[in-house]
Amino acid sequence: MNGPVLSVRRLRVEFPRRRGTLVAVDDVSFDIARGEVLGVVGESGAGKTLTGNAVIGLLEPPGRIGGGDIRLDGLRIDNLSAEAMRHIRGKRIGMVFQDPLTSLNPLFRIGEQIVETIETHTNLRGAAARRRAIALLGEVGLPAAETRIDGYPHQFSGGMRQRVVVALALAADPELIIADEPTTALDVSVQAQIISLLKRLCHERGTAIMLITHDMGVIAEAADRVAVMYAGRIVEIGAVRDVISRPQHPYSVGLMGSIPKLDSDRDRLVQISGSMPRLTSIPPGCPFHPRCPRVFEPCARLRPELMAHAQSQVACWLYDKAPAAEAAQ
């Protein structure tokens, strides 16, 4: 139990098309330790949701895992049968998705849905399961849980529904939770409540969280470490404080600079020209090089791997100590 809870090595997600295969997630590796919150941040098309889907085995065909391996507490899960994966999902990995309206079945009471998960993945049945469900709802901050447990999803507000979804994710006491944009559909004030809820529960239970979002503010408040994704690759990964205040990769620098801040004056925002490449036209070498303000010779030819720099890891030739980059300069 000492190793990381989740270990992803060289993950590759691809979409076979009639004119060739599109690679949406390319050689992605990271670990999540027990009780740690890893933020996976990136803009749309970066591949972060696909990475999350690959981990829980919910890739929609024709998408498939084309390489690499995923280990949950040492056990390989990317090559399990659908049946075996079904047992893992829910019991050892919980999920929180973006839209609470579609995460809950509108035809069933929320109590029934939580009890169903508890009975499927634990030994509790009947009244014991119901007691645990009520306790869970209390933990996620749902007021008057004993009465509200018999309500239908449409009788709850958006924030309350998302709390129920978090309760559902925690029902079987999983080691890992994948949260994909858990606060994007919520109001700002509710967002803050859900973030602090996730953090608190994660620390109390020692559950690891993979927090996927495009919102850097949410990452700043909730995550311990962050991985910045671009065009299907991780370009920078490190402690949240380091990556946000001292970003290394030119894309991370541009990203942090382009976010308007509450306490700054009305200067011009940093602008990265162009946009993220489509899957059909990812540039060779470093995928960011056409937009990079610090591009130089090797960038268009060679693809950089993650290399250690300062306290983080960055995939950028600027930080490469190998002779190849220096010779080019």
Partner 1 sequence: MTAAPLVGVDNLSRVFDVSRPWLDRVTENLPRQHLVAAANVTFSIKRRETFGLVGESGSGKSTVARMVVGLIPPSGGNVVFDGQSMTDRAQRAGRQKIRRRIQMVFQDPYASLDPRWRAFDIVAEPIRAFALADSRSAARARVGELLRLVGLDPVDGAKYPHEFSGGQRQRIAIARALASQPDFIACDEPTSALDVSVQAQVLNLMRDLQDRLGLTYLLISHNLAVVRHMASSVGVMYLGRIVEIAPSKELFRNPCHPYTRMLLAAVPQLDAALPKREPVEGEVPNPLDPPKGCPFHPRCAHANARCRAELPRLIERGSSAVSCHAVEEGRI
Binding site residues, partner 1, CB under 8 A: 43-44, 157-160, 187-193, 195, 214-218, 220-221, 244-245, 254-264, 266, 268-273, 275-276
* CB of 154 or CB of 321, closer to partner 1: 154
Backbone angle region of 307, left / alpha / beta, with phi > 0 → left and psi within -120 to 50 → alpha: beta
What are the CA-CA distances from residue 81 to residues 57, 76, 287 (Å)? 10, 11, 34
* CB of 251 or CB of 317, closer to partner 1: 251
* CB of 102 or CB of 157, closer to partner 1: 157
- Least separation in angstroms between CB 214 and partner 1: 6
Gap between the Cα atoms of 324 and 329, Å rounded? 9
* CB of 123 or CB of 271, closer to partner 1: 271
Q: Is 235 helix (H, G, I), strand (E, B) or coil?
A: strand
- Least separation in angstroms between CB 212 and partner 1: 14
* CB of 60 or CB of 263, closer to partner 1: 263
Helix/strand number for the chain, H first, E second: 12, 12
- Judge whether 185 and 169 are in contact, CB under 8 Å: no
* CB of 153 or CB of 254, closer to partner 1: 254
Burial class (CB in 10 A: 0-12, 13-18, 19+), 256: middle
> What secondary structure letter does DSSP report for 29?
E
- Least separation in angstroms between CB 211 and partner 1: 12
**Smallest Cα–Cα separation from 239: which of 319, 139, 177, 309?**
309
Backbone angle region of 23, left / alpha / beta, with phi > 0 → left and psi within -120 to 50 → alpha: beta
AA letter at 232: G
- Least separation in angstroms between CB 116 and partner 1: 27
Gap between the Cα atoms of 33 and 320, Å rounded? 27
Q: Is 51 helix (H, G, I), strand (E, B) or coil?
A: helix
What are the CA-CA distances from residue 306 to residues 29, 30, 141, 162, 327 (Å)? 9, 11, 40, 35, 20
- Least separation in angstroms between CB 321 and partner 1: 29
- Least separation in angstroms between CB 182 and partner 1: 13
* CB of 45 or CB of 52, closer to partner 1: 45
* CB of 269 or CB of 324, closer to partner 1: 269
- Least separation in angstroms between CB 10 and partner 1: 27
- Least separation in angstroms between CB 154 and partner 1: 12
Burial class (CB in 10 A: 0-12, 13-18, 19+), 12: middle
- Least separation in angstroms between CB 223 and partner 1: 10
Residues whose CB is less than 8 angstroms from the CB of residue 235 and which lie 6 or more positions away in sequence, other chains included: 228, 229, 249, 251, 252, 288, 314, 315, 316
* CB of 271 or CB of 329, closer to partner 1: 271
